[in-house]
Amino acid sequence: MMWKALTSPAGMIVIAALAFAGILYYVYQEGKSNGASAVIEERNKADREIVGGARNARDAVDRCYARGGMWQRETGTCSQ
């Protein structure tokens, strides 16, 4: 009885629709994962650039003090 229902034209349409829905769900999940990865990679790249800029600024102040200078916050320069 069950086999007859599954192999009927209506049963085949239901099976095909379920298979199609399963494939679409799989593709959706893959796209969602890849999209999330792209956003995370983009955010990490921006963060690395910000951290690099902060380190360069810190190093400039450290070099100023090492030379015996005084760092001027207002102008962002080192005065001797």
Helix (H, G, I), strand (E, B) or coil at 5: helix
d(CA 8, CA 41): 49
As a whole number of angstroms, the distance between CA 64 and CA 53 comes to 17
Cα 70-73-79 angle, rounded to 5 deg: 30
- Can you give the pLDDT at residue 2? 78
Render each residue's pLDDT in the chain as its tens digit; 80 residues. Answer: 777 777 788 888 988 999 999 999 988 888 877 777 888 888 999 999 999 999 999 999 999 999 999 999 899 899 87
pLDDT of residue 8: 83
CA distance 62 to 52: 15
Name the DSSP class of 8.
Answer: S
